[in-house]
Amino acid sequence: MPTILYTVRTTCPSIQVRGRFLAWLSPNHILEVMKGGATGVRIVLPDRASDTAPAVVETQYVFPSRKAFDEYVRDHAPALRADGLKHFPPESGITSERQVAEIAAEL
């Protein structure tokens, strides 16, 4: 069974908002995703093109199988996403994109 990489790319309007988002994300939110089946996580902060560019956070979760990921999406993700929206509603300027991929190889 292929391992699943689930990436959430969150764009924050400023470094200050990114700081608040990171404080919310880790450790509590990440621990809840891991309780829901993720076996690993990586938080990535891409370089910004300029001081006025949005601040991005990429959170990459590893799930041992598609089945484990599907169970996470069904049983855990709705409450965790609702909590995120409670802390960072649309008017906060934060947006998120999600991507699901199979890991073909790791060296």
What total of structural domains would you count in the chain? 1
Share of the chain above pLDDT 70, in %: 100
pLDDT score, position 20: 97
Q: Which range of residues forms the domain containing residue 85? A: 11-43+66-89
User: Is residue 85 in some structural domain?
Assistant: yes
User: Is residue 2 in some structural domain?
Assistant: no
User: Is residue 23 in some structural domain?
Assistant: yes
Low-confidence ranges of the chain (pLDDT < 50): none
Distance CA 10, CA 20 (A): 12
User: Is residue 59 in some structural domain?
Assistant: no
Residue carrying the six token digits 């929206």:
85
User: Is residue 75 in some structural domain?
Assistant: yes
User: Is residue 70 in some structural domain?
Assistant: yes
